[in-house]
Chain A
């Protein structure tokens, strides 16, 4: 059973098409990236998934059924712009919102303490939300999103506003959730941020799908047929290499299309060149996006 199945959803606000015929699915145990520039329709798509707004057309199936009271309890959500009851205490906020997900008070408190401890927020549990920093509030919201052990977690721009330490913490917690078999949907406009995390992606622009599928596959499809090389000594002429570009600390070798990277490597090794790094160049998501969107404009 798929965690999320979205088929042909569309939404129009004030004659402006925000989401246009979007279809995708997310499997359990998968980290799925919903990426695109600002205003591409990511948040609207997520809100339709969460049953916060209704799509004009199309269907959303969550955990095998249409979203209902019971399925809402198996769902965790971190909205894009974040806030909590400013005057309420940290622990009370977490327990109240967890209880709305069907948790009883005792187990909510137990789990809250555990998660607060894990995120290093335990010393702040007696504070009011308004006394916390922005990043701390975001951690609390993340806890709220996962405390009830949801089967599907949807995070809208989860890393925005976090410092590097907390970003790493969040990434490791997300990886742990995936290993537990949860389905995760991450939405972000900072495409490179989730490159290392996601198994599959949906890239959207102006409400339309522009790229969809396995991230590694997509990257190899948009590979620029070059290798990145860090070496010691003199490179000289290499067979099958049509051009060289020198970057800071490494050199990019353009291949002629008939030669494979393996042949180039074998050639270099046979010449006794000391190689510190040899990497098949894959373009970052940013670049792929620009190429795809650029093509669409042509």
Chain B
């Protein structure tokens, strides 16, 4: 068998058997399951607390007699504020409000409660609002119109394609969740995989196994086999997550419902996620390999690689900005800049469409960076892999690149 393939197979097996790798792969879907379970539990506890509420009111203006049943809130009329206060103190009602005689000109409603609170709850505000509106309009407009005035807007957006057909992907907040979660997972997976590569190299360097390996295979074969072997393991991890995502979403939408049921996982998203994982991983692995070659131990190497992972994580920090300003030109920069591209593209996909030219440019820049850094890495790999205990200065590395 080809020696590169032998190294690839060895590294793949070695990585998927690592405890850390297995835990990462399994724990992500497990945590998602746990969150769904916790949500069900919490909502199961939360629902019974929604109990019937009774609100008293004193009508000094007159004409507010109808519509006293607003959902689970009941409105009870009192003749005077004193009666209402007695009832409140007795606990017959939860609170009461007074409609003063000058209400029409001022709009002021006085509310009385025993609770210490910042403001009335939205449910109560809505109930009082609807009660007032309905009574004010009663008899003047048709019943159906009253309902519309209370809730005039129920916005249903449908996205069309350029041909006028209904687009398969409909957008919305729900669709941001998956790209966001995937952005985090992608970043984690890339960081973990390149750390495995770095640790592996550092281990072989520390125990001098690298000498036996290099007396059997070339530096190019060793690097290629390692990068592809660990990358394949990372791809398996991403595949497990991608495959488990639709199952988990089904489970989630049946129990949580609401906007989660609007989430879709379009095919092109999955394809781009895999493409950007591969490219992002390759980029970070060649960077790791060159760092592994110049650093004297794995701890020092991990500190150095940390510098490169910051741009990878930047898109995650700016999620909220991305949500509200999806068309800002700064995102175009992060889409094309190779270190941040993998996560940025995945996250932008959830918010807006990315023009094709940007995707092409981003992939092209990534591929060129990978080739360029790979070329440099192979040059410094041999020289510094065998310099134990001492990290070369930047000037020395540059000198080696020129002469090597």
Contact = CB atoms under 8 A, between A and B. Distances in A.
A51 B215 contact: yes
A47 B209 CA distance: 13
A132 to B, nearest CB: 13
A100 B217 contact: yes
A100 B207 contact: no
B218 to A, nearest CB: 7
A87 to B, nearest CB: 8
A70 to B, nearest CB: 11
A136 interface: no
Contact of B386 (A53, A84, A85, A97): A53
Contacts of A96: 6, 10
B293 to A, nearest CB: 13
Nearest to B385: A52
B382 interface: yes
Nearest to B3: A100
A40 B242 CA distance: 57
Nearest to A104: B1
B142 to A, nearest CB: 79
Contacts, number: 64
B224 to A, nearest CB: 14
A79 B217 contact: no
Contact of A82 (B7, B208, B215, B218): B208
B212 interface: yes
Contact of B207 (A51, A80, A83, A144): A83
B145 to A, nearest CB: 75
Contact of B208 (A50, A73, A79): A79
B207 A84 contact: yes
Interface in B30-52: none
Interface in B363-387: 382-383, 386-387
Interface string A245-285: 00000000000000000000000000000000000000000
B386 to A, nearest CB: 6
A81 interface: yes
B206 interface: yes
A84 B210 CA distance: 9
B13 to A, nearest CB: 10
Contacts of B358: none
A194 interface: no
A204 interface: no
A72 B222 CA distance: 14
A99 B1 contact: yes
A83 B383 CA distance: 20
Given A47-B386, A53-B386, A99-B6, A83 B215 contact: no
6 contacts: A50-B215, A69-B218, A72-B217, A82-B207, A99-B1, A100-B7
Interface of A: 13, 47, 50-54, 69, 72-73, 75, 77, 79-86, 88, 96-97, 99-102, 141, 144
Interface of B: 1, 3, 6-7, 10, 14, 203, 206-209, 211-218, 382-383, 386-387
Given A96-B10, A100-B217, 20 more contacts: A13-B387, A50-B211, A52-B214, A52-B215, A52-B382, A54-B382, A69-B218, A72-B215, A72-B216, A79-B211, A82-B207, A82-B208, A83-B208, A85-B209, A88-B14, A97-B212, A99-B1, A100-B213, A100-B216, A101-B216
